């Protein structure tokens, strides 16, 4: 199945066209105050990080390592979200949080059309220093989700200012396609914006392997990323197939330039 995220928001008249750069994001919604802000704001997609609480009760909570506790459990997060028309993205930092989180998803989000994305880094990527989640274990769990669920499957990465950072290699994209080629779900590949300039051939090839595939461009807090580095992805790839989870100023500027040139 192909990704239905843009169709959902076009159907709500929240997007005028199937242009993924027009989709806006609330990132790291891991506290009650951040959730309230995101739900009352204009963004389309709400992203939060999920792990198991480090003490009792051992339940899925919204937190990003090194945090091990939060004032917001996944159950409360989903309760808040389901009263609104937002799409959701759950970013899993550990395998132990996946199974109990999927139970909550099945129990609490019954609308068949709401965009639901589940994310994990499952392969080592450019400069990656953290251990990815085991791809077979993660996929065996999340492929039980409805087939319109978007699987966001990425690489661990690292970027350092002032150095020659490597991009996504041919081996990296080929191994990822080997894993994802037989899946039934739509798949988006989160890719680090600062590594895109040196990776266009590899990532455009990856998109060509299936119409179920999209990219989601993200950036680290201290990464250096220019509009110029993103333009090839806007000009040469269908605008419905590259999402931009970027600061709103950069994302909006990019979408306006694209519209002027298409």
196 within 8 A of 190, measured Cβ to Cβ: no
Query: What pLDDT is recorded for position 58?
Result: 87
Would you state the torsion angle of the CA atoms of residues 10, 189, 91, 85, taken in this order, to the nearest 10 degrees? 0
- Measured in degrees and rounded to the nearest 5, phi and psi for residue 131 equal -80, 125
How far is 203 from 196, CA to CA, in rounded Å?
A: 8
Longest dimension (CA), the chain: 55
Is the distance from CB of 119 to CB of 87 less than 8 angstroms?
no
**Residue 152: beta bridge partners?**
119, 188
Report yes or no: 63 and 73 within 8 Å, Cβ to Cβ: no
Q: The domain containing residue 122 runs over which residues?
A: 5-261
Q: Give the separation between CA 26 and CA 40, rounded to whole angstroms.
A: 11
* pLDDT for 66: 87
Q: Are strands 213-218 and 242-245 parallel, antiparallel or unpaired?
A: parallel
Q: How far is CA 202 from the centre of its chain?
A: 19
What is the pLDDT at residue 68?
83
Cα–Cα distance, 44 to 24 (Å, whole number): 5
Distance in Å from the first CA to the final CA of the chain: 27
Which CATH number is 162's domain given? 3.20.20.190
**pLDDT tens digit at each of 262 positions of the chain:** 899 999 999 999 999 999 999 999 999 999 999 999 999 999 999 999 999 987 888 899 999 888 888 999 999 999 999 999 999 999 998 999 999 999 999 998 767 789 999 999 999 999 998 999 999 999 999 999 999 999 999 999 999 998 999 999 999 999 999 999 999 999 999 999 999 999 999 999 999 999 999 999 999 988 999 999 999 999 999 999 999 999 988 998 988 885 444 4
pLDDT confidence of residue 258: 52
Phi, psi of 211, rounded to the nearest 5 degrees: -75, 0
Cβ-Cβ contacts under 8 Å for 67 (sequence gap 6 or more)? 30
The residue among 85, 154, 89 whose CA lies nearest residue 117 is: 89
Tally of structural domains, the chain? 1
């Amino acid at each position: 199945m192909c990704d239905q995220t843009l169709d959902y928001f076009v159907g709500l008249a929240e997007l005028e066209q199937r242009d993924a750069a027009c989709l806006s994001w609330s990132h790291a919604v891991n506290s009650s105050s951040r959730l309230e802000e995101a739900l009352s704001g204009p963004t389309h997609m709400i992203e939060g990080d999920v792990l198991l609480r480090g003490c009792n009760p051992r339940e899925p909570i919204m937190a990003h390592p090194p945090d091990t506790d939060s004032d917001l459990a996944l159950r409360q997060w989903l309760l808040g979200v389901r009263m609104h028309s937002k799409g959701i993205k759950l970013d899993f930092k550990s395998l132990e949080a996946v199974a109990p989180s999927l139970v909550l998803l099945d129990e609490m989000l019954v609308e068949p059309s709401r965009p639901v994305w589940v994310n994990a880094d499952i392969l080592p990527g450019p400069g990656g220093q953290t251990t990815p989640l085991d791809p077979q274990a993660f996929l065996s769990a999340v492929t039980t989700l409805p087939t319109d669920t978007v699987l966001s499957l990425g690489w661990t990465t690292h970027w350092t200012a002032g150095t020659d950072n490597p991009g996504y290699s041919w081996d990296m994209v080929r191994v990822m396609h080997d894993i994802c080629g037989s899946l039934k779900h739509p798949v988006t590949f989160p890719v680090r914006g600062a590594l895109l300039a040196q990776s266009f051939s590899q990532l455009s090839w990856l998109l060509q392997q299936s119409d179920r595939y999209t990219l989601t461009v993200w950036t680290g807090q201290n990464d250096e990323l220019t509009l110029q580095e993103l333009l090839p992805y806007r000009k040469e790839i269908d605008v419905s197939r590259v999402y931009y989870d970027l600061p709103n100023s950069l994302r909006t500027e990019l979408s306006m330039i694209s519209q002027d040139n298409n």
